[in-house]
Amino acid sequence: MKKVAKGNFGYIEYNRKFAAIRTIVALIICLIIFFTGLIIYHSNKSAFSIIAALGCLPTGLSAVNMIMYMKAHPCSKEAYDIIESHRNGLLIRYDLEMTSYEENYSIAAATVLDKNVVCFTENKALDVANCEKHIRNQISQSGYSNYTVKVFKDINAFCTRLDQLEQIRKSKNIDPQAIEDSWVPGTVETCALVLLSVSL
């Protein structure tokens, strides 16, 4: 199973499988340790039981992580193919699941260019206004104020906006990938990196 980097298409699907396998393996190890102690000492009052119980902590965390990925909404292959046909020189991030105390915000695809954050969601139940507010709050904490944030549910409207941004990119000779590549760890993250940081 080839690892999929955060922000790439297929990230959520990869982590669903990885988290499920990790959780099952961790659970099996805990059970093996527990039953080994039970067989050897004919009692659950042994060091094996303590080790197995301690092993349940990371197993539980892994299970919670797995559930979060299972509830997330990844970008569909159909939407991905359409978006890629309009990508051109833009930097598109996929499979962003943003969490907050109130709710989760599923972003299938997002791009950042020239003080514009443009996103697409396939989650029809998503509260777009709250999602836009959440993204605006998150990026403003890193110093990105006066940014326009727009979340689309209509893929055609999203792709039309991508085409408009591509014209801006060409006219201003902006290279989004070069901007990301030039980021130095330890310095303020780029706006696109902030979106990745606040996602699962």
The dihedrals phi and psi of 98, each to the nearest 5 degrees, come to: -95, 135
pLDDT confidence of residue 37:
86
Report yes or no on 109 lying in a domain.
yes
Domain residues for the domain of 93 are 77-197
pLDDT confidence of residue 54:
92
Q: What is the pTM of this model?
A: 0.86
User: Among residues 56, 71, 86, which one ends one of the domains?
Assistant: 71
Break the chain down into helix, strand, coil percent, rounded to 5. Answer: 55, 15, 30
The dihedrals phi and psi of 3, each to the nearest 5 degrees, come to: -65, 140
Report yes or no on 175 lying in a domain.
yes
pLDDT confidence of residue 41:
83
pLDDT confidence of residue 102:
78
Report yes or no on 164 lying in a domain.
yes
Report yes or no on 151 lying in a domain.
yes
Same domain, 95 and 188: yes
Same domain, 129 and 47: no
Same domain, 192 and 96: yes
Number of domains in the chain: 2
pLDDT confidence of residue 72:
92
- The whole-number mean pLDDT for each consecutive block of 10 residues of the chain, a chain of 200 residues, reads 91 95 95 90 84 91 93 95 96 93 91 95 93 94 92 97 96 93 90 92
